[in-house]
Amino acid sequence: GFRMGIVGLPNVGKSTLFNALTKTAAAQAANFPFCTIEPNVGDVAVPDTRLEKLAAIAGSKQIIPTRMTFVDIAGLVKGASKGEGLGNQFLANIRETDAIAHVLRCFEDEDVTHVDGRVDPVSDAETIETELIIADMESLEKRLQNITRKVRGGDKEAVQQERLMKAALAVLEEGKPARVVEVDEDDQKQWKMLQLLTSKPILYVCNVDEGEAAEGNALSQKVAEMAAAQGNAHVVISAKIEEEISQLDAEEAEEFLGELGLKEAGLDRLIKAGYALLELETYFTVGPKEARAWTIKHGTSAPQAAGVIHGDFEKGFIRAETIAYEDFVSLGGEAPAKEAGKMRAEGKNYTVQDGDVLHFLFNT
Ligand code: GDP
């Protein structure tokens, strides 16, 4: 599955948000298994109204949403790359994520201490980014000596690695994140293997007070401008609202959101933003037993998509019977869609589209 790391300075609302997200997810997940893997790791069901519609049409007994994993990564403070705070453990945690949700304090509250004594989310963002840049530089410098030795020894792969490492170091030394390096298609795989913290896609999460969740405030506006200038995404969320929602049932939560002028809970917006950030899409498998959603990366081929369910499905892939979501719903299910000629047989070169309802045929 896909993992999103939640980072930020202390006292910005990370834990409040993480606890609310996982608690809400657990409550929503009443009819299917939910597990908290570790105290700071939570599996969250991805809300998708299409799945309920498909299940209703097919009369599926069970609904199984796809999931996204959130990891609450504490310990990032100024000097963290030098072993301040919780030391370097958090760096390993960040390396294992696919994207970073960076929580920024955009609320004023004299009762909540700010580590630097003032509320300034743009400066906070820079503080954290600087730590990550330093950590990336140190890890590259360490590895580079070894790679250079391999290059001298005639290792071809090492030549590519050395070139990419040097390209990363050049921008890091200018104080910029590795994210800004333009990487050719042929280099993508090696680039990912460098596992640089600052090459991960980033989503700024502006944590505002309850009354400001719909419109944002002057501080979140500043973050929005910074994010736009960097080409990064941002969402405005109130961790306090999420905390309250996590204690309500679905109906009460909807009413509460309405009163605040919000269409969706922060959980939904955060996950949607995460999906967009990681270019993720959803396909469905639908039958009388269950209706289930699966996550794939944009541009995934039919065999690779089958592999998300089981490795054997990918290995023995023959073809995929495909109905687009719109056709499935407007025609009223699989049989009528098939009659109308809307069920397609797709081979191994088919690129799965968001919303496809799929049956895989495979050799065992
Ligand atoms: P962390 O250190 O980043 O995990 O921060 P916490 O989630 O522990 O939050 C630090 C403090 O700020 C707690 O007392 C929270 O209740 C409070 N807090 C979090 N979000 C908000 C908010 O939107 N408004 C206000 N006023 N307080 C908040």
Residue nearest to atom 18 of ligand 1 (CA): 13
- Spatial contact of 322 and 358, defined as CB atoms under 8 Å apart: yes
Total domain count, the chain: 2
240 lines ligand 1 (CB under 6 A): yes
Q: Is 238 near ligand 1, meaning CB less than 6 Å away?
A: yes
DSSP state of 285: E
The one-letter code for the residue type at 178 is: A
Whether residues 222 and 320 share a domain: the answer is no
Domain boundary among 245, 277, 309: 277
Angstrom distance (rounded) from CA 364 to CA 356: 24
Q: Do the domain assignments include residue 293?
A: no
Mean pLDDT estimate for the chain = 90
Q: How many CA atoms lie less than 13 Å away from 150 in the CB half-sphere?
A: 14
Same domain for 253 and 117: yes
pTM: 0.87
- pLDDT score, position 86: 52
Q: Mean pLDDT over residues 304-330, rounded?
A: 96
Q: Are the beta carbons of 58 and 333 closer than 8 angstroms? A: yes
Report yes or no: 274 and 204 within 8 Å, Cβ to Cβ.
no
- Same-domain check for residues 64 and 166: yes
CATH number where 93 lies: 3.40.50.300
> Do the annotations mark residue 103 as ligand-binding?
no
pLDDT confidence bin for 33, thresholds 50/70/90:
very low
Q: Answer yes or no: is 15 a known binding residue.
A: yes
pLDDT of residue 30: 46
ipTM value for the complex: 0.93
Q: Using the structure block, give the residue that is written with the tokens 């495979």.
A: 362
Q: Is the CB of 220 under 6 A from ligand 1?
A: no
Q: Is the pLDDT of residue 360 over 90?
A: yes
Residue 284 structure tokens = 């469905």
Q: Show the domain range for 100.
A: 2-182+194-277
Confidence bin at 26 (pLDDT 50/70/90): low
N-term to C-term CA, the chain: 24
Q: Is 315 annotated as a binding residue?
A: no
Structure tokens at 294: 């699966």
Tokens of 39: 């105290």
Residue 109 DSSP one-character state: -
Q: Is residue 7 domain-shared with residue 126, that is, in the same domain?
A: yes
Q: Is residue 7 lining ligand 1, measured as CB closer than 6 Å?
A: no
